Copies of this chain bind each other. A is one copy, B any other.
Amino acid sequence: MALRHAVLAALLDEELSGYQVTKAFAAGVANFWHALPQQVYAELARLEKEGLVAGREVVQEGRPNKRLFRVTGEGLAELESFASAAAKPAFLREDLLVQVQAADHLDVDVLTERLTERYAFAEAKAALFEEQLRTMRGELDEAEFLRSGARVGPYLTCRRGRDFERANRDWCRDVMEVLRARRAAREEA
């Protein structure tokens, strides 16, 4: 049970609907956790039943009504106890790394396609995170924001996401270069 904590953390600073939490998991939060809409809705229902979040109906016109959730005192206590326990080590799962692991047995052109796609994806995601960071900073420069900004948690995790995607991008570039050079060497021989 750990999705619950990711959901609680996402709801800490603002009231959000299930739909918005879902969006967060598809974008920013996805940087450290991943979940499908169905899981988010199910988890919110469970959290509400257990009193860790409280929902309120918001009637809308022109679009479906929604329910906004906020973290309760009990929810915050749950997060505190979660933070007291040792974190499980990270858990990375990347198809592309499996494919590169097998690189010596696979077609270079096919792999290069995959690496090119991932390069573009990483670049786009890094840019998105960078924009979110700019928005959070507002008018302050980074050092000043980190010193005196109201909330730095989401900023620090977002920065990790940006750097992660930058590293992915650079790695894709390097791997493509290595595969290209090895092919050139083979063709010479």
A residues apposed to B, CB below 8 Å: 2, 5-6, 8-10, 12-13, 29, 31-34, 76, 79-80, 82-84, 86-107, 110-111, 114, 117-118, 121, 146-148, 150-154, 156-157, 159-160, 163-164, 167-168, 171, 174-175, 178, 181-182, 185
Query: CB distance B33 to A87 under 8 Å?
Result: no
A111 in contact with B94 given A102-B9, A156-B178, A164-B167 (CB within 8 Å): no
The docked-state distance in angstroms from the alpha carbon of A103 to that of B159 is 14
CB < 8 Å: which of B2, B8, B86, B160 contacts A114?
A: B86
A171 in contact with B182 given A31-B92, A94-B87, A107-B83 (CB within 8 Å): no
Query: CB distance B185 to A93 under 8 Å?
Result: no
User: A98 to chain B: which residues have CB within 8 Å?
Assistant: 2, 5-6, 9, 32-33, 82
Query: CB distance A185 to B101 under 8 Å?
Result: no
Query: CB distance B156 to A100 under 8 Å?
Result: yes
User: A182 to chain B: which residues have CB within 8 Å?
Assistant: 146-147, 152
CB-based nearest B residue for A103: B153
The docked-state distance in angstroms from the alpha carbon of A136 to that of B91 is 24
Query: CB distance B97 to A79 under 8 Å?
Result: no
Query: CB distance B154 to A101 under 8 Å?
Result: yes
User: A91 to chain B: which residues have CB within 8 Å?
Assistant: 34, 92-94
